[in-house]
Structure 1
C-alpha cells in the first residue's frame, strides 16, 4: 500500500511539473541568448557567430563573459583601421580576442578577485581594480558598465572596451 501511494504521489508531482513547464522557461536564456536580447551587444553576437563559438557559449558552462558593447567594437575597428567585415572574416584573431573575454566558472561581481590576475579561456590573464576597471595584457583599460547579468549557463559583465591578449 505504501509503495502504491509513493508511486501515485510521484506521478502526480511529475504531471504537475510538466504542466507548469518545469520552471525552466521562465529563467534567463544561455549566454548567447542573453547577449542577443541586449541591443548593446549586437556586434559581439555577430563576432561569436563568425568565430563559431555560439555552440560553446550556449553549452552547460558555467562561464563568465566580459562582453564588449557595440561602441567598444566600433572603437576597436577604428583603432585597428579595419572594417567590421574584415574583423569578422579573421576567424583566428576573432577567436583569440573573444576567448580572452571568457573566464571559466561563475564569477559574480562580489567574487571578482581584485588586483589579481584572472586567467581566461584563451590562456592569458587580465586584472580588475576595486573601481571595476580591467587592465589587459597590453596595458589597455576597460570599464565594467553592467555586472551580474545572469544566464542559465553563467554570468555576463558588460564592458566599454574590447580587451586584448598579449601580442
Structure 2
C-alpha cells in the first residue's frame, strides 16, 4: 500500500483519499493543481472536508468565486511548505515558526504528544507522495 501512494503526487492522493473534496475543489478554483503536481518537494497541511465545514458556508462560497481567486490562493498557499517536512522533522520544530508557500509564517507547537500548526491540530501525519508529504489537519489555516 505504501508504494502505491508513493507513486502518486500530492494532488492525486488528495483526490483518491475522499476526505479532501473541498480542498481539491479549492485547488482547482485557485488554479494550483498543476503547481502541486510539480516536482516539489512539498509539505501540505491538508484540511479535511470536515475542517472546511467549520468555516461559515458563505465565506467558503465567497472564496470560491473567481473574483476572490487571489485571497483563495493566499489561503491555500498558507497550507503548503515548499520543502518536505516529515512528522519527525515537524516535532523538532516545536515552538518555532516555518515559512509557508505564501511567504507568511506559521507556528508549530507540540502539546500532549500532538502537533499543532497555529493552534490547528494535525490529526494524521506522513501520507507520503512522490513529490512530498501530506499532514491532515482539523481546521483551515487562515493567514
TM-score (norm 2): 0.88
- Cα distance between partner residues in 1 of 2:28 and 2:37: 11
Question: How many aligned positions are there?
Answer: 134
How many angstroms apart in 1 are the aligned matches of 2:5 and 2:60? Answer: 35
Structure 1 alignment gaps of length 5 or more = 1-23, 136-140
Match of 1:134 in 2: 117
CA shift, 1:26, in A, is 7.6
Higher Rg of the two aligned structures? 1
Q: Which residue of 2 aligns with 1:120?
A: 100
Task: Name the structure with the higher helix share.
Answer: 1
Q: Aligned-residue CA RMSD in angstroms?
A: 1.7
Higher relative contact order (CA 8 A, sep 6+): 2
Q: Following superposition of structure 1 onto structure 2, how do residues 32-51 of structure 1 map, counting pairs within 5 Å?
A: 32-51=11-30
Tell me, yes or no, if the aligned pair for 2:5 and 2:13 is still in contact at 8 Å.
no
Alpha-carbon contact 1:28-1:34 (below 8 Å) kept? no
Q: 2:63 aligns with which of 55, 62, 87?
A: 87
CA distance in 2, matches of 1:108, 1:25: 18
User: SS at the partner of 1:132?
Assistant: strand
Counterparts in 2 of 1:26 and 1:53: CA distance versus 1, 3 Å: closer
Q: Assess if the C-alpha contact under 8 Å between 1:43 and 1:73 holds in 2.
A: yes
Cα distance in structure 2, aligned partners of 1:100 and 1:83: 17
- The 3 A distance-change label for structure 1 pair 52 and 109 is same
CA distance in 1, matches of 2:18, 2:132: 19
Farther off after superposition, 47-56 or 120-129: 120-129
More displaced, 30-39 or 125-134? 125-134
Corresponding residue for residue 67 of structure 1: 46
Structure 2 gaps, min length 5: none
